[in-house]
């Protein structure tokens, strides 16, 4: 598909520009994280990309280093006890996602696409297979993220990801990107804490 080549080109240009422009913000956040708690600045986690290829997603670390690994935040009994003070701010503002600009530049992700599932979120991966959502580049944000984020059930989220896969194009990407900005500003759809039968994107980080 010709658009996928354009999508990759735009991803390289925009991510490189973002890294340069946001470098002062990166520096400030790095200092804040180091002063707030022990451990690395970045958090790496195995995720599922296009064609179910595994890669390591990057985030600013928002939780203590002794937090249970590969556990969605909603499955922790008391997630607040694991989240650092700086981490609370980063999560609320979604600034913890900024290092994924590096993933976009490397080609692991795109700016817009289905959010990459954890390697062990087998139910979500299986549901996405039904709609062809595993066959397109994963993204920093996507149709599901502007439609509810953490509040969505797995089957509905997979359907939205499938809808994106069918309608993938420049206009769809612009729509998702602009809607994401408003969603983040309003902190919509973010859920912290234990929930049943839900698929959250606020994964332990």
Beta strands per DSSP E along 61-125: 110-112, 117-118
User: What tens digit of pLDDT does each residue of 28-71 get?
Assistant: 999 999 999 999 999 999 999 999 999 999 999 998 887 766 56
User: What tens digit of pLDDT does each residue of 153-204 get?
Assistant: 899 999 999 999 999 999 999 999 999 888 777 665 455 544 433 333 444 4
Residue 205 has pLDDT above 60, yes or no: no
Task: Give the count of alpha carbons within 13 A of 160, CB side only.
Answer: 21
- 147 — pLDDT class (breaks 50, 70, 90): confident
Residue appearing with tokens 């925009």: 14
**Residue 61 near residue 33 (C-beta atoms within 8 A):** yes
Could you say which DSSP state residue 173 is in? H
What pTM does this model have? 0.82
User: What tens digit of pLDDT does each residue of 95-117 get?
Assistant: 999 999 999 999 999 999 999 99
Task: Give the count of alpha carbons within 13 A of 116, CB side only.
Answer: 29
Strand partners, 6: none
| Cβ contacts of 181 within 8 Å, gap of 6 or more | none
**Can you give the pLDDT at residue 80?**
74
């Amino acid at each position: 598909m010709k658009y996928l080549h354009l999508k990759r080109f735009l991803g390289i240009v925009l991510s490189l520009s973002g890294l340069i422009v946001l470098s002062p913000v990166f520096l400030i956040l790095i200092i804040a994280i180091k002063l707030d708690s022990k451990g690395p600045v970045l958090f790496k986690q195995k995720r599922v990309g296009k064609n179910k290829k595994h890669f390591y997603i990057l985030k600013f670390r928002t939780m203590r280093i002794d937090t249970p690994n590969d556990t969605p935040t909603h499955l922790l009994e008391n997630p607040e006890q694991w989240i650092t003070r700086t981490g609370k701010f980063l999560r609320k503002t979604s600034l913890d996602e900024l290092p994924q600009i590096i993933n976009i530049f490397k080609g692991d992700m795109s700016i817009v696409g289905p959010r990459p599932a954890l390697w062990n979120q087998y139910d979500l991966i299986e549901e996405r297979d039904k709609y062809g959502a595993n066959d397109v580049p994963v993204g920093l944000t996507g149709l599901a993220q502007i439609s509810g984020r953490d509040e969505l059930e797995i089957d509905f989220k997979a359907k939205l990801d499938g809808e994106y896969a069918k309608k993938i194009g420049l206009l769809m990407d612009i729509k998702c990107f602009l809607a994401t900005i408003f969603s983040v500003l309003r902190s919509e759809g973010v859920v912290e804490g234990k929930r049943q039968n839900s698929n959250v994107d606020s994964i332990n980080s």
